[in-house]
Amino acid sequence: MKIFLDTANIPSIKTFVDMGVLDGITTNPTLIAKENREFTELVHEILGLVPGPVNLEVVSQESAGMISEGHDLAALGPNIVVKCPMTAEGLKAVRKLHRDGIKTNVTLIFSPNQALLAAKAGADYASPFIGRLDDAGHEGMKIIEEILSIYRNYGFETRVLVASIRHPVHVVQAAKLGAHVATMPPDVLDKMVKHPLTDIGLKRFLDDWQRAGLKLPQGRPSSHMKPKPLVQRA
Residues noted as catalytic? 83
* Kind of pairing between the strands at 2-6 and 24-26: parallel
Burial class (CB in 10 A: 0-12, 13-18, 19+), 76: middle
DSSP string, 181-229: EEEE-HHHHHHHH--HHHHHHHHHHHHHHHHHT--PPPSPPPGGGSPPP
Please choose, from the candidates 151, 161, 210, the residue with its C-alpha nearest in 3D space to the C-alpha of residue 1. 161
Could you give the angle at the alpha carbon of 53 between the alpha carbons of 184 and 110, nearest 5°?
50
How many Å apart are CA 16 and CA 177, to the nearest integer? 24
